[in-house]
Chains A and B, each alone.
Chain A
Amino acid sequence: GAGVSQSPSNKVTEKGKDVELRCDPISGHTALYWYRQSLGQGLEFLIYFQGNSAPDKSGLPSDRFSAERTGGSVSTLTIQRTQQEDSAVYLCASSRSGGGGYEQYFGPGTRLTVT
């Protein structure tokens, strides 16, 4: 079946604008994860959903970042009042369940550039 998809693949925005990134997980996967990969940095865990619930939002870098998931499927990551340091590749992954036993499958990412 289809893998994890993300849109847009590239986004260029002006500083101060809001952006919305979308993730479509693999059908039937109940767990969904968001990460950020900055140039020269490792992957930074942002948030994890089990179903529509995010048990821990402490990984989000600031209160300008928010994420939601509806219907146990699509998730959106919203960044308000974007700053240049928000420029990164945002990766989404899904797994069959949120338990520790399942592999994560990654989407191709959204490259965000804030000018």
Chain B
Amino acid sequence: KQEVTQIPAALSVPEGENLVLNCSFTDSAIYNLQWFRQDPGKGLTSLLLIQSSQREQTSGRLNASLDKSSGRSTLYIAASQPGDSATYLCAVRARDDKIIFGKGTRLHILP
């Protein structure tokens, strides 16, 4: 059974720092991995989608990597800003088409 774990559960860093969020999954047989952010009381916003054949994706200050063989993905945020404060979720799409989410990392950027 696919399980997705995100570490740390919460993180506070000063504005301007670079940071890395981690996501691990137990079954490497996935179609893709997607990173989302969720603001309090809101739905999810897609950040990056990495196909199983890809190693990384970049969008602005965000870079996501995927190492399928080791069951890991990282989300790198450069030059963090207070507006980056949110919960970050990763999700894997398994071969049976089920999408399994981690419980998220609550990020707080200190002004």
Contacts and interface: CB of A to CB of B under 8 A. Distances in A.
Interface of A: 4, 33, 35, 41-45, 48, 55-56, 59, 91, 93, 98-109
Interface stretch (B14-22, B68-76, B78-86, B88-96): B88-96
B97 A48 contact: yes
27 contacts: A4-B43, A33-B99, A35-B99, A42-B89, A42-B101, A42-B102, A42-B104, A43-B101, A48-B97, A56-B98, A59-B98, A91-B44, A99-B31, A100-B32, A100-B51, A101-B32, A102-B49, A103-B46, A103-B49, A104-B34, A104-B99, A105-B46, A106-B36, A106-B43, A106-B45, A106-B46, A109-B43
Nearest to A109: B43
Nearest to A40: B103
A100 B103 contact: no
Contacts of B61: none
A107 B49 CA distance: 18
A76 to B, nearest CB: 18
Given A91-B44, A108-B42, A108-B43, A100 B93 contact: yes
Given A33-B99, A42-B104, A91 B43 contact: yes
B28 interface: no
A55 B31 CA distance: 17
Interface centre among A42, A91, A105 (most CB of B within 10 A): A42
A59 B96 CA distance: 12
Contact of A100 (B52, B102, B104): B52
B52 to A, nearest CB: 7
Contacts of B42: 108
B34 A45 contact: no
A41 B103 contact: yes
Given A33-B99, A103-B34, A107-B43, 17 more contacts: A35-B101, A42-B101, A42-B103, A42-B104, A43-B89, A45-B98, A45-B100, A48-B97, A48-B98, A48-B99, A56-B96, A91-B43, A100-B51, A105-B46, A106-B43, A106-B44, A106-B45
